Chain A
Amino acid sequence: MKSIKNHLSLVIALLSILFSIQIFTIVDRSVIAYKDNLATNYSLVVVSNSALSEKTIIEADERINATIELSPDDVIQRLNTGMSTKNMELLKHTLPKFYKVKLKHYPSPGEIESVTKKLLANQSVTKVENFSQSHDTIYKLLLLFKNVVSLFAVSIFVITTLLIFKELRIWEFKHSERMSIMALFGAPTWLRSAVLFRLAITDALITSAVAFGLFVYMSSSPWILKQFEDIGIHIILFDPLYDFAILAGVAIFLSILLATLIVLGHKEEV
């Protein structure tokens, strides 16, 4: 029982940190995936007096991915009130050219402004419709969501770091007597602190294993998967290799840092 208690306090604190890291990772991946979705659906419309080649439009800005010329046929069909074919052809040639412009990624409002300016720099382009108002709303909502989650993750990180420092004080108290006694008999620093490092690494491994189980369960939970499916996002919630390596690395690094701080802060009683 005492042995479990010895491990529990650090394991819980480390687990909270790993949890906040993984939640932040999931949100980051979701935002990137959602931005990709939006980028696929988002486009600008360029109105030009004369025909523009695909190369001319793409070269206007490096963020432009592709362009499609919009056919004026639909507009002409709507105006077709008994016009002759000849007049229709004439109208077709006098109408400005419309181009749908796709970007490589979902742009920020600043990027939209910049792309718009560059497109308007072409003498033939008379108007660029960038749908900035609706775009702005979606973009700001996305940023707000990411910032709120980041703030939440940072708060958990800070609180648990404070908990770990409190744990450090307890460890310092618990281990300093033994370390002092060992020092009296000439034990080198590595031997004096061996128990502490063993305990720290054991706790880090226990935490990593619990975190692995928890995130594997989460990533296969039908309820969680459905939530992501409902908003059309398909991401890896937990990569058993890459994510686990990061989480285990963080847990081991933090616990070794904790033990090192105790060893460095330990002063022999005089």
Chain B
Amino acid sequence: MDKVIIANNLSLSYSNDETIINKASFSINSGSFIFITGASGSGKSTLLKSLYGALKPKEGSLIVGGVELHGVSGSKLNFLRKHIGIVFQDYKLVKEWTIEKNIMLPLIINGYEKSITQNQVESLLKHVRLKHQAGKYPMELSGGEQQRVAMARALSHNPILILADEPTGNLDDYSSQLIWNLLEGANTQLKTTVIVVTHHIPEAMGVAYKHFHIEFGSIHEVN
């Protein structure tokens, strides 16, 4: 099975501060569903940031989607990010754009034709049950609805990898369940690799998953 992520002796830190992840080695198969857990401040989000290149490895090697992120150039990083979908706890939607335009963003960046973009956005809005809200702005939606927009945006360009940082952290049970369903659907139907950073794993998961736990700067798989 193809490896979508390979980390070898990976160390991460912010500037010259204390090392947050210390010489971690792990790999993630393409099409798998991964949970990363750990206490607050253990380095879960830091690890996720390194996977989309917002934090460069201090030491060791980190290959994501075939791109070595140690000393990666801006253009290679942009190339990698075009194939990743990211979901944040605080949604990170562009406030001055309608939700339709927010979902379109990765498609525009990837240079899709207007007609394809339009069809894809329509289908995704239907998929996340927000078709009736297409022309609204993020601030006009509830937190759960905004996160569904963020999910639709992450899925719009059929990425090889979805990274989600506490995607249900701010949501009620109903909205959380919708988000888990969307992540499971992406993994089972589109074979997209999904990596979710969370404090707790939902009890009733509809997919097989792997669980990594971070403690004292090291990453280990939980069986």
Contact = CB atoms under 8 A, between A and B. Distances in A.
Given A177-B94, A178-B96, A270-B14, A185 B105 contact: yes
Which of A182, A183, A185, A270 has the largest count of B CB atoms less than 10 A from its CB? A185
Given A181-B94, A182-B94, 4 more contacts: A184-B81, A186-B109, A191-B109, A270-B49
B10 to A, nearest CB: 17
Contacts of B82: 185-186
Interface residues of A, number: 15
B78 A188 contact: yes
B80 interface: yes
A184 B55 contact: no
Assign chain B's interface to a size class. 20 to 34
B31 interface: no
A268 interface: yes
A184 B82 CA distance: 9
Contacts, number: 50
Contact of A268 (B54, B75, B95): B54
A187 B54 contact: no
A270 B92 contact: no
Contacts of A191: 108-109
A186 B79 contact: yes
A270 B81 contact: no
Interface of A: 177-178, 181-189, 191, 268-270
CB-CB nearest 4 A-B residue pairs: A186-B81, A186-B82, A186-B78, A185-B106
B52 interface: yes
Nearest to B107: A185
A268 B14 CA distance: 14
21 contacts: A177-B94, A178-B96, A178-B97, A181-B93, A181-B94, A182-B105, A184-B54, A185-B105, A185-B106, A185-B109, A186-B78, A186-B79, A186-B80, A186-B83, A186-B84, A186-B106, A187-B105, A188-B75, A269-B54, A270-B49, A270-B54
Contact of A184 (B52, B79, B97): B52
Interface string B101-113: 0000110111000
B52 A178 contact: no
B86 interface: yes
Contact of B78 (A177, A181, A187, A269): A187
Nearest to A268: B54
Contacts of A187: 78, 105, 109
Given A268-B54, A270-B14, A270-B55, A182 B109 contact: yes
Contacts of A189: 74
Nearest to A191: B109
A55 B108 CA distance: 78
